[in-house]
Structures are given as structure tokens and as C-alpha cells.
Amino acid sequence: MRTLNVDLGERAYPIHIGDNLLQQDLLRPCIRGRQVCIVTNETVAPLYLERLERALQGLEVEKVVLPDGEQFKTLETVNRIFDGLLEARQNRTTTLIALGGGVIGDMTGFAAACYQRGVDFIQVPTTLLSQVDSSVGGKTGVNHPLGKNMIGAFYQPRCVLADTGVLKTLPPRELSAGIAEVIKYGLIYDAAFFDWLEDNIGRLVVGDEEALSRAIYRSCEIKAEVVAQDEKESGIRALLNLGHTFGHAIEAHQGYGRWLHGEAVAAGTLLAADLSRRLGWLSEEQLTRIEAIHAAARLPLLPPADMSVEQFRSLMTVDKKVLDGRIRLVLLQGIGSAVVTSDFPAELLDETLESRLAMARTG
Ligand code: NAD
Ligand code: GLY
């Protein structure tokens, strides 16, 4: 097992990464009271709930099992967590434990931020995407029909336990979706990591344990560094949203759950990279490398063919990075370096969208 620290002063917390961690007694030091509530879903519960419960023996353990899917990442579903907590008379000293992917983690963290004005919570991420991204950094929340992740709070967990062994049961499509966020770290922050990913993408995509562990560790290391500098996203943290402004528009347009979050981010990253090339910030050869690594990861390179430029524009203006009515995007200035900017001609954004949508329509 390896442990990283998210350095946030009095709210600092460890990220434990390794195989077979679920059944070990690693959570107890992060639990302050006698009560805990495990929040999970109908897919993850039969796989891992019992294992986690066994590790919590001696505590008063409540369980809330939610329906599975991005379409259930709503305030209504969070209310079911509150129902469970109140029915079990869980008090302010309880600790919520999110056992699942990013959907469960985001909702459980949000419930913890609100329940009795804030109780402790722990992330036990079980997808690649949640192990490399959503469980770290304290972004919690739910979707709204008009916009992705529009309701939420910054609320840090007390600990993250990433058991890499649970990835063995993850469907290949979900593994690929997680790889999209791993590639993101290389693109925005670490050219050498991107090179390593290019060399190892074949191993990652088939779930090679050693390659996945390295990728998870480096991704968490980068995320922890960025979050420690800018917890509430007033600066550098926005770079973690590479591809996300486009991606969130895709998810909202398609109906939450049709395109996986990581798939939408991949198509969005390619749009951002294409626009960066049109601005002269990225070479043709670099764009080709970015396309190739996404293709090798079995991720979509193009946006959905049934979307229009107007739909993209309209949905992108709901983005949290919009400032004074102007869309701000994370764009690349080479591999390993990114900026957040609204300083690009609107026509060039339209051209980029039009061109990639046309490619999608012609197959
Ligand atoms: P997810 O939570 O929907 O999980 C994907 C699927 O895998 C689900 O069907 C789930 O039940 C299943 N699953 C989970 N663990 C499994 C396992 N070990 N074996 C078999 N099946 C398993 O999706 P995700 O990709 O983990 O997360 C996506 C969500 O995360 C989105 O809502 C996105 O907005 C959010 N997100 C949040 C942040 C953040 O900083 N908070 C960052 C990135 C993404
Ligand atoms: N996933 C983006 C962030 O945590 O800031």
C-alpha cells in the first residue's frame, strides 16, 4: 500500500492506494463516532458491501443502497440518504462512507455536507475514474436537468481508500472512461507521464494491475498537488476541467447516463485540442498523438453526430467557468501545459465544433 497526503491544513487527509485494502482495518482511524452509514448502489453492494461491513465490525453500521446510474445523481436520490440517516437516528457524530463510483461519491459527499449541517465522510472509490479523480478534492453534488453538477458543495473527505483490486470487476467500457481522466493529467500537467501513458496504454486498457496502480498513484499525486494549491478553484484547479465544458454539454444533451462521463470528457478533450491546434498552440503532430492515445483507450474521438453547434453553444454557457457571459475553456499549449482562457475568436470555436460534428456525421 502507498499513501499520499492531500495537504489542506486542518482538513488534510490521506489517500491510501493498494490491492486488497477493503478488508483491512484502515478506516477506523478516520471514524470519530460509533455510528457509520455506508452509501452504495445496487451494482456495487452485492460485490463489496459485505467485505467493507466486516472491516467495520463493532460499529453501529447503517446501509443505504441506491439505484445505479448517472440519471439518479439528483437531489431526490440524495433525499433517500437523508431518509436512511434519520430513520436510523444517526446523529452528528456519524460518518458517511461512499462505496462506489463517482456518482455515489459525489452524492454521499453532498449528503455529508448537508446532514445536520455537516458530518464526516470517507471515500471508498470503486471505479478507475473515481480512484483517479472524483474521490479526491472535495467536489460534491448532483446534476440538474439544465446543467451537470450544478448543485453542490466543496466538502473534503476525512480519508480516501482506493482498493485497486476492485477494478477487476469493472466493465471494460468503464475502465476506458477512467483512462480518459488519467490522460487528462498528462495533458495538462506532466508531459513525461503522458509519454509513459502512450507506452503503456495497451496494458491499461486490458486492466494490467501494475500499470493501473502506477497510473492511479501518479494521477492522485497530481490531483492532490493541484487541490492543495487551489481548493475552491479560483485558479489552477480549473485546468482539471480539460474537455469538461464540452463534455458536460454532451452529457446534458444526450440525457445523463447515455454517454459515460469519461467518454464525454474524451470527445471534449479532442475538441479542446483541435481548437488549440487552430490557434497555433498545438502542432498537427501533437493533435495526432492525442487522438491516437484516446483511440487506443477505446474512447470516442468525436462528439455525438446528433448535436449541433448551437446546442453546444447554448449548453456551454451554463458552465461554472463562464465569466461575464463569456465561455472560458481549458486549452492546451503543448503536451503537459494548459491554460484557462476566453481569449479565442468565437468563430474559431464554431469552426472547430462544425468540423468535428461533420466528421461525426460522415462516420
Ligand atoms: P459511476 O459512479 O456511474 O460508476 C460507473 C459504473 O460502474 C456504475 O454502473 C457502477 O455501479 C459500476 N461500478 C462501480 N464500481 C464497480 C466495480 N468495482 N465493479 C463493477 N462495477 C462497478 O461512474 P464513475 O465513472 O465512477 O463516475 C462518474 C461521475 O463522477 C460523474 O457523475 C461525474 O460528474 C463525477 N465526477 C466527479 C468529480 C469530482 O471531482 N467530484 C470528478 C470527475 C467525475
Ligand atoms: N474533476 C475536476 C476537479 O476536481 O476539480
> Is residue 237 flagged as an active site residue?
yes
For residue 139, the CA-to-ligand 2 centroid distance in Å is 7
Lowest mean pLDDT among 38-52, 100-114, 218-232, 312-326: 312-326
Residues 6+ apart with CB under 8 A from 318: 146, 147, 150, 248, 252
pLDDT band at 325 (very low <50, low <70, confident <90, very high): confident
Which of 62, 181, 221, 263 is catalytic? The answer is 181
Binding site membership of 237 for ligand 2 (Cβ less than 6 Å): yes
pLDDT band at 81 (very low <50, low <70, confident <90, very high): very high
pLDDT band at 320 (very low <50, low <70, confident <90, very high): confident
> Is residue 143 flagged as an active site residue?
no
For residue 227, the CA-to-ligand 2 centroid distance in Å is 8
Examine the pLDDT at 145 and tell me if it is beyond 90.
no
Contact between residue 102 and residue 180 where contact means Cβ atoms under 8 Å apart: no
| Confidence (pLDDT) at 248 | 93
| Confidence (pLDDT) at 306 | 97
Compute the average pLDDT of residues 31-38.
Answer: 98
pLDDT band at 78 (very low <50, low <70, confident <90, very high): very high
Compute the average pLDDT of residues 24-31.
Answer: 94
pLDDT band at 326 (very low <50, low <70, confident <90, very high): confident
Examine the pLDDT at 192 and tell me if it is beyond 90.
yes
Contact between residue 13 and residue 160 where contact means Cβ atoms under 8 Å apart: yes
> Is residue 253 flagged as an active site residue?
no
| Confidence (pLDDT) at 322 | 81
Residue 151, burial from CB neighbour count under 10 angstroms (0-12, 13-18, 19+) = middle
Examine the pLDDT at 318 and tell me if it is beyond 90.
no
Which of 80, 184, 223, 356 is catalytic? The answer is 223
The residue whose C-alpha atom lies closest to atom 28 belonging to ligand 1 is 102
Label each residue of 170-194 as H, E or C. Answer: CCHHHHHHHHHHHHHHHHHHCHHHH
Contact between residue 239 and residue 231 where contact means Cβ atoms under 8 Å apart: no
The residue whose C-alpha atom lies closest to atom 2 belonging to ligand 2 is 240
From 43, 168, 319, mutation site for ligand 1 pocket: most ligand atoms within 8 A of C-beta? 43
Which ligand lies nearest the alpha carbon of 139?
Answer: 1
Q: Quick one: angle between helices 284-296 and 261-278, nearest 10?
A: 170
Compute the average pLDDT of residues 149-175.
Answer: 98
| Confidence (pLDDT) at 321 | 76
| Confidence (pLDDT) at 52 | 97
| Confidence (pLDDT) at 363 | 81
Mean pLDDT of the chain: 97
> Is residue 148 flagged as an active site residue?
no
The residue whose C-alpha atom lies closest to atom 3 belonging to ligand 2 is 240
Domains of the chain: 2-169 (3.40.50.1970), 172-362 (1.20.1090.10)
| Confidence (pLDDT) at 182 | 98
How far is it, in rounded angstroms, from Cα 62 to Cα 308?
46
Examine the pLDDT at 23 and tell me if it is beyond 90.
no
For residue 126, the CA-to-ligand 1 centroid distance in Å is 8
Compute the average pLDDT of residues 69-85.
Answer: 98
Examine the pLDDT at 21 and tell me if it is beyond 90.
yes
pLDDT band at 84 (very low <50, low <70, confident <90, very high): very high
How far is it, in rounded angstroms, from Cα 39 to Cα 111?
10
Compute the average pLDDT of residues 214-220.
Answer: 98
Compute the average pLDDT of residues 3-21.
Answer: 97
| Confidence (pLDDT) at 319 | 77
> Is residue 244 flagged as an active site residue?
yes
> Is residue 181 flagged as an active site residue?
yes
Q: Of ligand 2's atoms, which has the minimum distance to the CA of residue 226?
A: 5
DSSP 60: E
From 174, 185, 216, 233, mutation site for ligand 1 pocket: most ligand atoms within 8 A of C-beta? 174
> Is residue 200 flagged as an active site residue?
no
pLDDT band at 147 (very low <50, low <70, confident <90, very high): confident
Cell representation of residue 263 = 467518454
Compute how many other C-beta atoms are within 10 angstroms of the C-beta atom of residue 208: 14
Contact between residue 252 and residue 315 where contact means Cβ atoms under 8 Å apart: yes
Closest CA to 73 of 98, 108, 119, 49: 108
Which pLDDT tens digit goes with each residue over 233-286? 999 999 999 999 999 999 999 998 899 999 999 999 999 999 999 999 999 999
Please state the pTM of the whole predicted model: 0.97
